[in-house]
């Protein structure tokens, strides 16, 4: 009888604990469910985009479809991983971060460099697009799915299928921006350490990372890590080639004419008003003149718009990357160099969609831009895949 009384006495307590456990698990499940739904939508859009790239580059029935993406700079990244820099000092035009990342992963999983690079870049692009869409949609009260599609629409996004470093650089840059501009910081010391680590690492993935030294103007002390990274890079060049600035000479050996921003601007303007279109050279006119000038002007305008809204650090980042990517006499690749900051292009349009007075023309402008970018991307992806130059 005493035993029965104990069992009966314990059962309400057990039921109470189960109720508390169920109640605590319910909010977790309810918070995960919407995120899984959003992730499903993002994944669906991404898979459709991959399918479209496949179709527009004539992938059907082509057993070498993947191999055709292995072109141009991809060979230099492979050479850095396999042989190092000394056999061909021209490769010092490329920092070692990306080739060692893809090479290390390929070695770990015993996969080819190309397949590893494509998988790495596709994962990086998807992650960057989700991160950008989730963060900026909350920040500017816009649709995350439209923003996700816009990130994918950038003309140079097809480089996710190649062994190029731009996509990984893009992901790391936006992780840094989101971490730095987050409204709440869990631990100031830890956040500063992570920021400094990313700022130190980014230039070793792409030399455009040195543009982030401009954060010092915003009194971000973590940007001192960029100076340290530059010192190490100069020492690396000196050790390999006997000159701390050999990477600049290496870029010239890669048929990149020496010059500065103003020489590049003059060349692009000259091409813009040339007779190239009349003579049928539409693609060269687009990628060497119109598109570099368009993204330069519009992204600079967006940076000013962001600065007026109090987003000073984001504006400084855009301007500094624009300046360093365009600081050459030939703007043949600047559309690709600007890929990491291209997602902000649509923010003024999307942020004004709620205005009734401007909604119709703003909406039309946004979808025209989105459609034009996808069309250009498919054209240049087909060109690159066939062996021609595409950014």
Assigned domain for 119 exists: yes
pLDDT of residue 187: 72
Residue 272 lies in a domain: yes
- Residue 186 phi/psi, 5-degree rounding, is -60, -40
Q: CA-based angle 249:89:161, to the nearest 5?
A: 95
pLDDT classification of 357: cutoffs 50, 70, 90? low
Q: What is the pLDDT of residues 131-182, one digit of tens each?
A: 999 999 988 888 899 999 999 999 999 999 999 999 999 999 999 999 998 8
96 versus 332: which is more confidently predicted?
96
Predicted local distance difference test score (pLDDT) of residue 334: 93
Residue 193 lies in a domain: yes
What domain range includes position 23? 2-385
Task: Determine if residue 141 is left, alpha or beta; phi over 0 gives left, psi from -120 to 50 gives alpha, anything else beta.
Answer: left
Q: How many angstroms separate the CA atoms of 321 and 174, rounded?
A: 13
Structure tokens at 384: 């690159």
Per-residue tokens: 75: 């060979």
pLDDT given for residue 34 in this prediction: 81
Residue 141 lies in a domain: yes
**Per-residue pLDDT for 335 more than 60?**
yes
| Residue 289 DSSP one-character state | I
Mean pLDDT for 56-72 is 80
How far CA 186 is from CA of 171, 197, 215, 220, in Å, comes to: 21, 17, 21, 18
Domains in the chain, number: 1
Structural domain contains residue 390: no
Residue 261 lies in a domain: yes
374 within 8 A of 348, measured Cβ to Cβ: no
Residues 106-116 have a mean pLDDT of 93
- Burial of 298 (C-beta count, 10 Å sphere; 0-12/13-18/19+): middle
Distances (CA, A) of 165 to 99, 302, 384, 391: 8, 25, 16, 13
What is the tens place of the pLDDT at every residue in 268-320?
999 999 887 878 788 999 999 999 999 999 999 999 999 999 999 999 999 99
Residues 17-61 pLDDT 10s: 555 454 455 565 666 888 888 999 999 999 999 999 999 987 666
Pick the residue with more confidence: 44 or 89?
44
Residue 7's pLDDT band, with cuts at 50, 70 and 90, is very low
> What's the Cα-to-Cα distance from 242 to each of 129, 218, 237, rounded to whole Å?
41, 35, 7
In percent, how much of the chain has pLDDT > 70? 88
pLDDT at 60: 60
State mean pLDDT over 203-207.
95
Long-range contacts of 271-275 (CB under 8 A, 24+ apart): none
Instruction: State residue 4's pLDDT score.
Output: 45
- Domain assignment of residue 364, yes or no: yes
Do residues 125 and 157 touch, judged by C-beta distance below 8 A? yes
103 part of a folded domain: yes
Q: How far is residue 135's CA from residue 128's CA, in Å, rounded to a whole number?
A: 11
Confidence (pLDDT) at 66: 86
């Amino acid at each position: 009888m005493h035993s029965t009384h104990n069992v009966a006495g314990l059962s309400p307590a057990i039921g109470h604990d189960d109720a508390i456990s169920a109640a605590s698990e319910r909010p977790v499940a309810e918070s995960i469910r919407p995120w899984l739904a959003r992730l499903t939508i993002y994944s669906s859009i991404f898979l459709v985009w991959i399918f479209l790239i496949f179709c527009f580059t004539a992938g059907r029935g082509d057993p070498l479809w993947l191999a055709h993406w292995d072109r141009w700079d991809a060979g230099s990244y492979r050479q850095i991983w396999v042989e190092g820099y000394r056999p061909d000092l021209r490769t010092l035009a490329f920092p070692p971060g990306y080739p060692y990342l893809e090479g290390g992963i390929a070695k770990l999983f015993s996969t080819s460099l190309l397949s590893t690079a494509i998988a790495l870049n596709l994962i990086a692009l998807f992650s960057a697009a989700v991160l950008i869409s989730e963060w900026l949609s909350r920040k500017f009260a816009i649709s995350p799915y439209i923003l996700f599609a816009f990130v994918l629409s950038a003309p140079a996004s097809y480089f996710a299928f190649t062994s190029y470093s731009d996509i990984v650089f893009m992901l790391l840059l936006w992780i840094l921006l989101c971490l730095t501009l987050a409204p709440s910081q869990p631990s100031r010391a830890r956040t500063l350490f992570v920021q400094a680590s990313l700022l130190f690492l980014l230039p070793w993935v792409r030399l455009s990372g040195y543009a982030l030294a401009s954060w010092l103007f915003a009194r971000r002390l973590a940007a001192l890590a960029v100076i340290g990274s530059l010192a190490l890079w100069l020492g690396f060049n000196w050790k390999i080639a006997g000159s701390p600035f050999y990477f600049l000479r290496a870029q010239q050996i890669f048929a990149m004419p020496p010059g500065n921003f103003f020489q590049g601007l003059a060349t692009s303007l000259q091409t813009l008003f040339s007779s190239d279109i009349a003579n049928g050279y539409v693609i060269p006119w687009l990628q060497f003149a119109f598109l570099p000038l368009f993204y330069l002007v519009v992204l600079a305008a967006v940076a000013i718009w962001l600065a007026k809204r109090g987003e000073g650090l984001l504006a400084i980042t855009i301007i500094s990357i624009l300046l360093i990517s365009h600081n050459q006499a030939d703007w043949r690749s600047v559309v690709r160099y600007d890929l990491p900051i291209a997602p902000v292009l649509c923010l003024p349009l999307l942020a004004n969609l709620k205005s009734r007075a401007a909604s119709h023309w703003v909406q039309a402008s946004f979808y025209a831009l989105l459609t034009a970018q996808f069309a250009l991307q498919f054209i240049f992806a087909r060109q690159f895949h066939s062996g021609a130059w595409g950014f």
